A and B are shown apart, each in its own frame.
Chain A
């Protein structure tokens, strides 16, 4: 990975959400290696406090990376409305308020500006059985990425989505087999070679956060090894 010149994150102050989860962990560690400065204090509690922590430590905020939490699969009819609501709050509501807190700072600091990367998923584009709340949330995240980019571009803030494909070392989608509605065992629309790992995802996040990607804004880039493009003709 090139991490020099425009591709470098050297001395950029970055908050990575949910470093205890797979996405956050891999991205935070890759960002550190690429020269980014990550606040030492725990940032998982409150977005505004996390931003204040970063400011008191480093003086400004250049990058925010938000990440979702993938939950277990369950048929829609057995998910309670409360469960659905909690998941949507976790993966869409909280993501918005992290973006808002970061943008508040990015729009008042001198010079103004910054980059927000929302890690989402291919499930923001297509449905995944068993993931009603996650799919709703990821479609929502892709949409707010667009609208926030539009609203905040005048402050020099870029908002970009990074849509993850199916992973080797995250989510439960590690098996290629799936239980079909009629009880038979089928194969997921996946092949071993389209499974990505979080380190590959993190490298793309570095590029998107760097000055080399300055022209990318308000769109979601999919790191899915071609999965969305595959029409499933065998």
Chain B
């Protein structure tokens, strides 16, 4: 994707949560390559530092702040760090998440809470903390939440994850309506099956339709996405070229959710 000056991304400031690996890392790298200054908000220090080191020579400012999105103080500290280091907040990408993989009959309240917390509650927490800063600055802003095709299609053993991701879609629409008057756009990208480091664990799973050899023929485009293909859509959504898009859930899924049958 050729992002020229009219995309107005240069020297914008973005926070990308969970950007030490996988789709989050690809989003951070995609943005940095387009001139967006990025704070890598990642819980695993070595992963965050690695991305920072990798992109240090890019000529665009990159910082790492160890952030636990499920901890209110940690997110507040991250916001203070960004304001101090970068001077402002333009873009927030709520990417951090985990997966919950259990039959619905075996889900305990503790398990449910852990999945909802990291995926949905933390998306609200970060949106609110950074959203308040965007409102205070008075220059608008951009929030992109990473949802999933699971928010629309069903998958076995993932009720808590599905609830959280669908919740993110609901939150995206409501925040978009509430904050439109502040010039803050809020959208979500819902990736389909994507090749990531963590996704390698998924390949070991042998139940349901989540085995790659079984689900790949189900994807109209016939393959999984690369992390970069998801990341580029996120970068487009935070650019001026998508300035009339808000409250939307963009399914980037190779056609998965359009196809009705397995």
Footprint of B on A, CB under 8 Å? Answer: 75-77, 79, 81, 84-85, 88, 92-93, 96-97, 99-100, 103-104, 107, 123-124, 126-133, 135-144, 146-152, 181-182, 218
Say which residue of B117, B124, B155 sits within 8 Å of A147 (CB atoms): B155
Given known A-B contacts A79-B128, A129-B178, A140 and B104 have beta carbons under 8 A apart: no
Could you tell me if A151 and B104 are in contact, using CB atoms closer than 8 angstroms?
Answer: yes
Whether the pair A84, B121 counts as a contact (CB closer than 8 A) is yes
Centre residue among B104, B116, B152, B156 by max chain A CB count within 10 A: B104
CB-CB < 8 A to A150: which residues of B?
154, 156
Interface residues of B (CB under 8 A from A): 72, 103-105, 107, 109, 112-113, 116-117, 120-121, 124-125, 127-128, 131-132, 135, 151-152, 154-160, 162-181, 247
Contact A76 B174 (CB under 8 A): yes
Q: Are A140 and B164 in contact (CB under 8 A)?
A: yes
B170 to chain A, nearest CB (A): 3
Q: Given A88-B167, A92-B163, are A127 and B154 also a contact pair (CB < 8 Å)?
A: no
Docked Cα-Cα span, A147 to B107, in Å, equals 14
Docked complex Cα distance between A149 and B109 (Å): 20
Query: Hey, which chain A residues are within 8 Å of B127, CB to CB?
Result: 76
Question: Which B residue sits closest to A152, measured CB to CB?
Answer: B104
Interchain CB contact under 8 A, A139 and B104: no
Given known A-B contacts A81-B128, A143-B151, A151-B104, A96 and B163 have beta carbons under 8 A apart: yes
B175 contacts A96, CB within 8 Å?
Answer: no
Pairs across A and B, CB under 8 Å, 12 listed:
A85-B121, A88-B167, A96-B107, A103-B104, A127-B173, A129-B178, A135-B174, A138-B170, A140-B167, A143-B166, A147-B155, A151-B159
Contacts of A75 in B (CB 8 A): 178
Is A124 in contact with B170, judged by CB distance below 8 angstroms?
yes
Complex alpha-carbon distance, A141 and B164, angstroms = 10
Most buried by B among A136, A147, A148, A150: A136
Q: Enumerate chain B residues within 8 angstroms of A133, measured Cβ to Cβ.
A: 124
A96→B102 CA distance, assembly (Å): 14
**How many angstroms from the CA of A81 to the CA of B135 in the assembled complex?**
18
Cα–Cα distance between A137 and B163 once the two chains are bound (Å): 8
Instruction: Specify which of A93, A128, A129, A146 is in contact with B112 (CB 8 Å cutoff).
Output: A93
Can you name 7 extra interface pairs (CB under 8 A) apart from A100-B107, A132-B178, A140-B120? A77-B135, A96-B104, A127-B173, A129-B177, A132-B124, A133-B124, A140-B166
Q: Chain B's nearest CB lies how many Å from the CB of A156? A: 15
**Chain A residue at minimum C-beta to C-beta distance from B247:** A127
